[in-house]
Chains A and B, each alone.
Chain A
Amino acid sequence: MTLFKRLYDWIDLRIGASEIVKKELTGYLLPRNINEWYSLGSVLLVIFALQVATGMLLMIYYIPDADKAFKSVTFIMNEVPFGWLIRLCHAVGSNLMIAVLLLHMLSTLIMNSYKSPRELNWVTGFILLTLAQGISLTGYLAPWSQLSFWATTVATNSASAIPVVGPYLVEFLRGGKLVGPATLGRFFAVHVAVLPVVIAAFIGFHLFLLKRTGVSTPPFGSIETDKRWKPESYSYQHHPGGIPFFPNYALQDATSITIYFAIFFAVVYFAPNLIFTPDAFVPANAFKTPPHIKPEWYFLANYQTLKIFPNELIGLTIQAVAMTLLALLPFLDRSPERHPLKRPLFLAGTIAGILVWLGLTIWGHYS
């Protein structure tokens, strides 16, 4: 008997580990036609864990003080051994986290997995997307560069278009009339102490919902016997005759995570400047607005929408309506059909929405 086996038996005797393994891993059956898109949730968990780990490491050297922040980031990049690696992992990771979140939501959208009884899974996922955007925005100010300073100025200023409370809201967000040391203090606190906890709580709730509803069956391939959800009583969606999570789907998760790391490290090592403009290497100057200041790529569509409409309130309202419609999609789309090809109107609407978003993003980039 190997040492590992003896250790496992010792633990098993005390906490019934094999029962958990059977229930949650080898006996946890997934639909036979499950595809690789379902592994993006696991990829996102890894990304979040990596963001937390690198963020903790950065806090060792980073100084959240307007006079010292830029210097401390420069020190991390140039003086601390492997500081550049930790910082780039954090910065690139935040961008890829949004990208993978969008793909995760897109796959859920295309496969219509947001439908009953998974409305709450979709809504919590949507909230997680906005929280991830929030944590990226608050972290963006941390380096106190020209880019971060002015991008935050533009982003926080958007709130001024809200009638009545807008101007006060901007001042509240910034901790003053303009972006300044007070903004850095509150953004840093929100970035490291508030949002990570809230995100972790929502991830926990999202996973809890997944455990209670069961994994959805993809609408493609060999579909299991019709098991449409009936709103009479609670029922967990079992997949008898399905494939076990471990080792079968765990291997798919590992494959997707490996592919993610390949892309992630390719950007970190070979194209780190993909996410930095020259303004990111100049310390913040409150008296010098750099030309062509742009937000992060995932806010470019929002930025361009605000530019298209001369009235900022109309631009904001359109965005708010679009986001609300997307958040409430499971409650608006009541059709039980889940195959996108059998729903031409839905498919056309989805493709049009994606094209509009991509078009606005590209337009925003080149405008």
Chain B
Amino acid sequence: MENEGRRKFLGACVAGVATCAAAAAAYPVYRYLSPIKGEQGAQKVVFAVAEVPDGEAKFFEYAGSSAVLVNSKAGLVALSAVCTHLGCIVQWEKDKQDFICPCHGGHYAADGTVTVGPPPKPLPKLPVVVAEGKITVG
């Protein structure tokens, strides 16, 4: 009985040490594989007003994702360009002045609201400021 207890105790100790060693090995690997901070792209993007003429849209990288500046009748709006359905990048249809998602045919108005199709939510709006001939997103 005494041996049995000692064996169980040693077994528990070995299992404990093995678990600690596995965690010590897994944590650096997890951190190594995780997205690196500071590699998420610019948090503030500046354009000249002339870069986005009336009726046009300009796509750009923003905070590690895709965004779009659109200059329509509704005014200048900055939106996430990622479709809220399954994450494809929406395309600007200049003639219709709306966005289409080519993956599943979702449509958004120039201000990002859903007009047709499966997207469950509008395109998220991004903060945008126009001052001294410059457009600042973020």
Contact = CB atoms under 8 A, between A and B. Distances in A.
Interface stretch (B27-35, B51-59, B109-117): B27-35
A80 B32 CA distance: 6
B36 interface: yes
Nearest to B38: A79
Nearest to A82: B28
A246 to B, nearest CB: 14
24 contacts: A57-B29, A57-B32, A57-B33, A60-B32, A60-B33, A79-B36, A79-B38, A80-B32, A80-B36, A81-B28, A81-B31, A81-B32, A81-B34, A81-B36, A82-B28, A82-B29, A82-B31, A82-B32, A83-B32, A85-B28, A85-B32, A86-B28, A86-B29, A86-B32
Interface residues of B, number: 8
Interface in A73-92: 79-83, 85-86
Interface string B6-49: 00000000000000000000001101111010100000000000
Contacts of A79: 36, 38
Contacts of B38: 79
Contacts of A82: 28-29, 31-32
A35 to B, nearest CB: 24
Nearest to B39: A79
A339 B25 CA distance: 42
Contacts of A83: 32
B22 to A, nearest CB: 13
B81 to A, nearest CB: 27
B1 to A, nearest CB: 19
Contacts of B31: 81-82
A75 B31 CA distance: 15
Nearest to B37: A81
A79 B34 CA distance: 12
A60 B36 CA distance: 13
A85 B33 CA distance: 13
Contacts of B28: 81-82, 85-86
Interface string A81-108: 1110110000000000000000000000
A81 B27 CA distance: 10
Nearest to A75: B36
Nearest to A57: B32
Nearest to B32: A82
Residue with the greatest number of chain B CB neighbours at <10 A, chosen from A57, A60, A82: A82
B41 to A, nearest CB: 15
Contacts of A57: 29, 32-33
Contacts of B36: 79-81
A83 B29 CA distance: 9
The 3 closest A-B pairs by CB, nearest first: A82-B28, A81-B31, A82-B32
